[in-house]
Amino acid sequence: MVDRNRIIGSAKSIIGTLKQGLGRAVGDAKLEAEGAADRAEGKVQNAVGGVKDVLKGK
């Protein structure tokens, strides 16, 4: 089974991408920045899950 961090990280990354795009579309720099931060956080969490999967031998 895939590590829980990979699933949550992917979800955060998708949400961040949506927030970033919405912020860009409506001209809200704060929302765009939050989206970029969420996206980065999701990518890191996904990577942590990937490392855990490798260590578990999956």
- Domain boundaries along the sequence of the chain: 4-56
Q: Are 42 and 19 within 8 A, CB to CB?
A: no
pTM score: 0.85
Q: What is the pLDDT of residue 43?
A: 97
Q: Is the pLDDT of residue 1 over 80?
A: no
Euclidean distance between CA atoms 39 and 32, whole angstroms: 11
16-38 confidence digits (pLDDT tens): 999 999 999 999 999 999 999 99
Can you read off the two tokens belonging to residue 27?
């001209």
Euclidean distance between CA atoms 3 and 24, whole angstroms: 32
Q: What is the pLDDT of residue 33?
A: 98
Q: Are 46 and 13 within 8 A, CB to CB?
A: yes
